[in-house]
Amino acid sequence: MARALEVIGDRWSLVLVRQLLLGPKGFQELRVRTGIAPRVLSGRLRQL
């Protein structure tokens, strides 16, 4: 539970989880919708 909160507590992770709850999206669509830099997006997706 603590690890889950640690990962989800990250600002970008919350944004990504919200987007993915709205439906499946590819990398490029997530990048465009959130404005997250590709390197950061890749890292957060790996973390999740």
B/e letters for 3-12, b = 16+ CB within 10 Å, e = fewer, are eeeeeeeeeb
Gap between the Cα atoms of 25 and 33, Å rounded: 10
Kindly calculate the radius of gyration of the chain based on its CA atoms and give it in whole angstroms. Answer: 10
Q: Which residue is listed with tokens 């944004």? A: 15
Q: How confident is the model over 3-47, as pLDDT tens digits? A: 665 666 678 998 999 999 999 999 999 999 999 999 999 999 998
Cβ proximity of 11 and 41 under 8 Å:
no
Specify the number of domains making up the chain: 1
Cβ proximity of 7 and 14 under 8 Å:
no
Domain residues for the domain of 25 are 2-47
Q: Provide the pLDDT for residue 18.
A: 93
Q: Provide the pLDDT for residue 10.
A: 79
pLDDT higher than threshold 70 for residue 1: no
Q: Is the pTM of this model over 0.85?
A: no
